[in-house]
Every structure is written in C-alpha cells, then in structure tokens.
Amino acid sequence: MSLIQNKVQKNTVIHVNFLEAVKKQYHYKLHAHHSMFGTMIIMQIIAGLLTFSNQIYSVNSNNIDITVRIISADLIIGLTFLWIIIMAFQLTTKASKNKMVTFVTSKQTNHLANILFMITLCFIGGLTANLLGAFVKMVVSVMDQTDPFIYFAGTSVSEFATGILATIAYMLLIASFFYLIGEIVQIHSILIIIIPSVLVGLLFILGVNVEPIIGFYIFTKSLSIMLVKTLVTAFLLFFAATLFGNRLEVRR
C-alpha cells in the first residue's frame, strides 16, 4: 500500500547553470564572511595608530640625538597584506569547504567564488589602506605639535591613484600565492610541515636567492608593466589553485 496513490507533482530535476551557481556562492560568501572586513578595519586602525609613533632614530655625533617620526601608509599597507594572507588561507580550510557543501556547490564553483571574493577583498583592502594612510597623514599635518617638519613628500592625485592600483595588484598576487599554498597543504596534513621546511631549506641551506623573484615585481618602474606582471602571475596562481583538492572528500 503506497502512501501516495497519485503523485500530484513531480519534482523535476533542477539543472543549474555553472556561472549562476558561482554567482550565488559568491553572494553567500560575501554575506557569510562579513567578519573579514571587521578584522580588516581593526588591523588597519591598529596599524594607523602605530604609524603615529613610527620612529626612526638617527644618532649622530655623541651628544646629539635626532629622532624623525616618519609618517607613511607603509605600515597600514603591510598589515593589510598580512590580513589578506590570513583571509586567503581561511578560504582553503576544510571548515570553509564544509560550509559550502551544505548548500549547492562543486569544487570548481567554490574555487571561482573564492577567487571572486578574494578579488573583492583586495580591492576594498587596497583602497582603504591608502585612504587611511592619507587620513593619518592629514591628522599628523594638522596636529599642533612641538616637533617641526623636516621633510614633506606630498602625493599628487595621480600618484595616489597609482598607489591604490599597485596596492591592489600586490594584494592579488599575495592572495593568489597563499591561496595556492593553502590548497596544496590541504591535500595532506603532513604538508603543513613539509612545505614551510622546504621553503626555509631553500632559503637558508641552499642559499636560493629570493630577491630576483620579488625584484621582478618590485623593481618595475612602469605602472602598466608592473600591473601586467602582477595580474598575470595572480591569474596563473589562482588557476593553479583550482587544480588542487578536487579529489578531496568533504569529511563532515
């Protein structure tokens, strides 16, 4: 005796468009990871406060001690870089993937949604880091203090825009690199030990020089060339990351 004599409505199989699925996942991540922006704001504000007392000492002669308080957005930008590293890692963890699996996902849509989300993080992080830098500079300029200015290097509007673009580009590069590392590490827990050891070994024991690699990006004098280098590398690294972890079971 079947419970249903007449099947009233057949629940037909739903077909999902890949890009639509990515879009839905992207919005989901945007909502679920709102705390990432919270940590960004906090880290940036702390960096901003630290910038206020960023001191570089110059002890010249034996009785003269000159201290220059140099204000720039470097510390804020640096901490924002650290922030994106942590966020990129967080997106590769099993916990993050398990949360996606509750709803509609595939490994590929998850990767793509993660990448779109990281691009969003980089844009907002890069923008706010530079804006906060200008804010701090403004406060220091306007604050009435007993120590005079020894040097004032202003930033023109075009330079400011350049700074924002460069910051975003670097963040994309860094995010893609650490996302890839995060994905590789997920494959086996032993890799968490092996990969850092290999990197440290390369650096110290074999004396592999990282400077040319970093210099490839840092020493580029032209903004457009630097953007091309950074963005192409980021694209390749992101693509490489999508190749990993696709056979991993989701152990809930």
Interface positions, 25-64, toward another protein (CB under 8 A): 27-28, 31-35, 37-38, 41-42, 45-46, 49-50, 52-53, 55-56, 58, 60-64
Work out which of 151, 204, 205, 211 binds another protein, going by CB under 8 A: 151
Beta carbon of residue 53, minimum distance to another protein (angstroms, whole number): 4
Enumerate residues 170-209 that contact another protein by CB under 8 A: 170
Stretch binding another protein (CB under 8 A), from 9-17, 185-193, 195-203, 233-241: 9-17
DSSP summary character for residue 247: T
> Computed from CA positions of residues 232, 243, 168, 89, in that sequence, does the dihedral angle turn out positive or negative?
negative
- The span from the first CA to the last CA of the chain, in angstroms, equals 37
Enumerate residues 209-238 that contact another protein by CB under 8 A: 218-223, 226
In a 3-state reduction of DSSP, which class is residue 10?
coil
Maximum C-alpha span of the chain: 102
Work out which of 82, 86, 93, 159 binds another protein, going by CB under 8 A: 159
Residue 117 touching another protein (CB under 8 A): no
DSSP summary character for residue 148: P
CB 22 within 8 A of CB 116: yes
Cα angle 91-92-95, degrees, rounded to a multiple of 5: 80
Stretch binding another protein (CB under 8 A), from 113-121, 197-205, 230-238, 243-251: 243-251
The rounded distance, in Å, linking the Cα atoms of 109 and 118 is: 14
The rounded distance, in Å, linking the Cα atoms of 51 and 241 is: 35
Q: Which is nearer to another protein, 65 or 232 (CB)?
A: 65
Work out which of 19, 68, 203, 228 binds another protein, going by CB under 8 A: 68
State the binding string over 70-109 for another protein (x if CB under 8 A, else -). Answer: xxxxx--x-----------------x--xx-xxxxxxxxx
Stretch binding another protein (CB under 8 A), from 85-93, 149-157, 181-189, 196-204: 149-157
> Computed from CA positions of residues 38, 39, 40, 46, in that sequence, does the dihedral angle turn out positive or negative?
positive
